[in-house]
Amino acid sequence: MTVWNVMYQDWQLECCGDPFSVGDEVTWQLLVDTTVPEREWAAELTEIEGPVESSGGGPVVCSGGVTVPWTGSGDWPPRLRLKGLLTVERHGGEWPRTKGVVRGIHVVGQAYSEENLVPGKRTLRPVDRCPKRFEHVGRAAAGAKLRREETGVLVELEVE
């Protein structure tokens, strides 16, 4: 058994996801987001390495019970190493899903000044059940320098 950190973004869940609890079995399409700032997410980043294989939806990489699509162009490499944040994808193409058991859930909070993300101001609040809606406060209160928004949940997903 391997436990992976998976980010389920607020808009993906609010649009067409179903809330879940610690201990629930889930089946999700996953991506590797290679654009997240490594400095901010270092502890949650993952590396997927394995052979590139064909699936009904295109090339995928399978490793440690997780399947993610390869989104590169040109000929498929025989093997690939991806580093980034695993994320749930509800609006992309079709590729094999990853099944696992939820072992932990943390609501992700992020501080913003004006419209800019403030590095180093991310929080993780443990919960037993994932919310269907997240706190979106819009603008900071009068006189406040920062506003805080919930941007999704970070899930500890155990897979075989």
The continuous run of DSSP H or E covering 29 comes out as none
Radius of gyration of the chain (CA): 17
pLDDT tens per residue, range 74-102: 888 899 999 999 999 998 778 899 999 99
Q: Which residues of the chain have pLDDT under 70?
A: 115, 137-144
Structural tokens at position 77: 């490499």
Cα within 13 Å of Cα(96), Cβ side: 15
Residue 116, beta-bridge partner list? 113
The rounded distance, in Å, linking the Cα atoms of 39 and 42 is 6
What is the value of pTM for the model shown?
0.89
